[in-house]
Chain A
Amino acid sequence: MSKIESYFHTDWAAMTAYDWGGMILTIVIFVALAVTFFNALRPKNAKELEEQRMTPLRDDE
């Protein structure tokens, strides 16, 4: 096993329920963040989002 392989080696059989829960949650959050960033940076959404910049300047004072 190369050094890289041994570094990334995972003993799947030893994973506990907590390990699986943590890993699944991490992947879900990673995907959710990727989708959020994609939507925030998508040129199609730029106008709608950037319009909100004016909110503090539009209030009563």
Chain B
Amino acid sequence: MDTVVKPQYNDGVVKAFTLAAIVFLVLGTFFGTYAASELAWPFLNFDTAEITFGRLRVIHTNTVIYAFGGNVLMATAFYIVQRTNGRPLYSNKLAWVQFFAFQAGLLLAVITLALGMSQAKEYHELEWPLDIAVALVWVLFTFNFTMTIAERDKQKVPHIYVANWFFFGLLIMVTYLWVLNALSVPVSLFRSYSLFSGVQDAMIQWWWGHNAVGFFLTAGFLGIMYYFVPKQAQRPIYSYRLSVIHFWSLMFGYVWLGAHHLQYTALPDWVGSLGAVISLAMIIPSWGGALNGMLTLSGAWDRLRTDYILRFLIMSLAFYAMSTFEGPVMAAKSVNALSHYTDWTIGHVHSGALGWVAMVSIGAVYHMTMKLWKTEMYSMSLINFHFWLATIGTVFYIVAMWVSGIMQGLMWRAYDDYGTLAYTFAESVAAMHPYYVMRAIGGILFTAGAAVMLYNMIMTIRMANARQTQLAHA
């Protein structure tokens, strides 16, 4: 009789990345909520340089994007690549080196940013020694992931599943975008100046900046979606052909968008227009992808009533569809004239970050926790509670920022009969106060949800460990 030998996966390192991700989710959302509270109640900075808004905001963005998002991407990439290629990682040791080097880098990032050491480049603030360290960790990640696919049994697994394509796109694109934007002239150990200047520097920065969103915060998380939505729904993805079109459109479309961040600047007008046109065109593949995920549930929508993890995954796709519609609209010049430099942009970023990236990650992490520790969750009710805290928190946040952003834009452009500005900048700041309070409440709700998740995970792991100990003694 033939026996099927199940591959022994390297799940220890995946568990470590998964736990680190949720610890950083709690920390990152706490930093963000505290920074948001400082805008509502400025005394909260206690005149301490290290926790002023300017530094805390950057610590928040780096913690949620790289520490939470990075750990989630590394955990899910290693989880998916092993299972879809039917083999363990190319090198488990290398994966552990990557884990410890990445966490050490993140710790140094928080310390240096709190001390005010920054390149002052959005989503790329780390000074050059840490910049190089991050690039090296990323290369390790890319090498291990690629080699795991390359060394698969091609007879058994002739086709590479599409989730791996998205991860591969993320790895390649982020490597070269990160390195090019990081090109600088170091003048001391913790001070450097960009190799580019003026409008070229701005263009390179936003070419990187929007692609950090497009590849780091979208492509990899779409890889997560294409694996975990079918897995959790126990149904195949709605259309594989649509996923192929989604992938290639995203890879070659996203790189054009950065210029829409620089409308009405010294950048040539046609570059901004091109960025806006391609942004609008990107609605098609983005919505195709969102629909592909949602329609996977065709005929089984009732499962959303009882499967709270699936709720996170499907809600994330609703936010993905919404923010990928909102973004292109904001890129159009006429809307951009109102929205740019206002809180509307912050609201847009968070509908993507909280609604899409965090929720798809949370769904995937809950799914993985049960599989990795081979147990049910400690409390399904707490997952439901977390879902509502996260959803209501996100809605509070983005509605507050829509209102304050549009109000800001209208106040800044209002003229009186004499052609002078109707409001001073300080008046527009004072008008924002109620919305900044509302945003802080949204942040508190979302952070509370993250803390509930961490508690639920710790209890689940303790429960699984206790059961294993019992079995060992039996």
Instruction: Determine the distance from Cα of A61 to Cα of B252 in the docked complex, in whole angstroms.
Output: 34
Judging by beta carbons under 8 Å apart, are A57 and B252 in contact?
A: no
Distance (Å) between the CB of A35 and the closest chain B CB?
Answer: 10
- Is B234 at the interface (CB under 8 A from chain A)? yes
Stretch of B64-72, B95-103, B243-251 that contacts chain A: B243-251
The one of B227, B236, B248 that contacts A54, using a Cβ cutoff of 8 Å: B236
A27-57 interface with B by 8 A CB criterion: 29, 33, 36-37, 40-41, 45-46, 49-57
The SS class assigned to the B binding surface is helix
Contacts of B252 in A (CB 8 A): 29, 33
- Is B468 at the interface (CB under 8 A from chain A)? no
Judging by beta carbons under 8 Å apart, are A41 and B241 in contact?
A: yes
- Is B6 at the interface (CB under 8 A from chain A)? yes
The one of A37, A41, A46, A57 that contacts B236, using a Cβ cutoff of 8 Å: A57
Kindly report which residue of chain B lies nearest to residue A50, judged by CB atoms.
B240
Instruction: Determine the distance from Cα of A14 to Cα of B156 in the docked complex, in whole angstroms.
Output: 55
Instruction: Determine the distance from Cα of A61 to Cα of B236 in the docked complex, in whole angstroms.
Output: 15
Kindly report which residue of chain B lies nearest to residue A36, judged by CB atoms.
B248
- Is B92 at the interface (CB under 8 A from chain A)? no
Kindly report which residue of chain B lies nearest to residue A41, judged by CB atoms.
B241
Distance (Å) between the CB of B222 and the closest chain A CB?
Answer: 14
Distance (Å) between the CB of B105 and the closest chain A CB?
Answer: 32
Judging by beta carbons under 8 Å apart, are A49 and B241 in contact?
A: yes
Contacts of A49 in B (CB 8 A): 240-241, 244
The size bracket of the interface on A is 20 to 34
Judging by beta carbons under 8 Å apart, are A52 and B162 in contact?
A: yes
Judging by beta carbons under 8 Å apart, are A60 and B6 in contact?
A: yes
Instruction: Determine the distance from Cα of A16 to Cα of B77 in the docked complex, in whole angstroms.
Output: 42
Distance (Å) between the CB of A37 and the closest chain B CB?
Answer: 6
Judging by beta carbons under 8 Å apart, are B249 and A52 in contact?
A: no
Contact (A56, B6) CB under 8 Å given A33-B252, A36-B248 = no
Instruction: Determine the distance from Cα of A19 to Cα of B208 in the docked complex, in whole angstroms.
Output: 21
Distance (Å) between the CB of A25 and the closest chain B CB?
Answer: 10
Residue with the highest number of chain A CB atoms closer than 10 Å, among B227, B234, B240 = B240
Judging by beta carbons under 8 Å apart, are A55 and B6 in contact?
A: no
- Is B7 at the interface (CB under 8 A from chain A)? yes
Judging by beta carbons under 8 Å apart, are B230 and A57 in contact?
A: yes
Contacts of A53 in B (CB 8 A): 230, 236-237, 239-240
Contact (A57, B234) CB under 8 Å given A36-B248, A40-B244, A49-B241 = yes
Cβ proximity bits B56-93 to A, threshold 8 Å, 1 near / 0 not: 00000000000000000000000000011010000000
Q: How many A-B residue pairs have CB under 8 A?
A: 59
Kindly report which residue of chain A lies nearest to residue B80, judged by CB atoms.
A56
Judging by beta carbons under 8 Å apart, are A55 and B84 in contact?
A: yes
Instruction: Determine the distance from Cα of A57 to Cα of B235 in the docked complex, in whole angstroms.
Output: 7
Cβ proximity bits B150-180 to A, threshold 8 Å, 1 near / 0 not: 0000000001011100000000000000000
Contacts of A55 in B (CB 8 A): 84, 159, 161
- Is A11 at the interface (CB under 8 A from chain B)? no
Cβ proximity bits B192-227 to A, threshold 8 Å, 1 near / 0 not: 000000000000000000000000000000000011
Distance (Å) between the CB of A8 and the closest chain B CB?
Answer: 12
Instruction: Determine the distance from Cα of A7 to Cα of B248 in the docked complex, in whole angstroms.
Output: 30
- Is B413 at the interface (CB under 8 A from chain A)? no
Judging by beta carbons under 8 Å apart, are B86 and A59 in contact?
A: yes
Judging by beta carbons under 8 Å apart, are B83 and A59 in contact?
A: yes
Judging by beta carbons under 8 Å apart, are A36 and B244 in contact?
A: yes
Distance (Å) between the CB of B403 and the closest chain A CB?
Answer: 39
Residues of chain A having any CB pair with chain B under 8 Å? 29, 33, 36-37, 40-41, 45-46, 49-57, 59-61
Further 16 A-B residue pairs, CB within 8 A, beyond A46-B241, A50-B239, A56-B231: A33-B248, A36-B244, A37-B245, A49-B240, A49-B241, A50-B240, A52-B162, A53-B237, A53-B239, A56-B83, A56-B84, A56-B163, A57-B234, A57-B235, A59-B84, A60-B7
Residues of chain B having any CB pair with chain A under 8 Å? 6-7, 83-84, 86, 159, 161-163, 226-227, 230-231, 234-237, 239-241, 244-245, 248-249, 252, 371
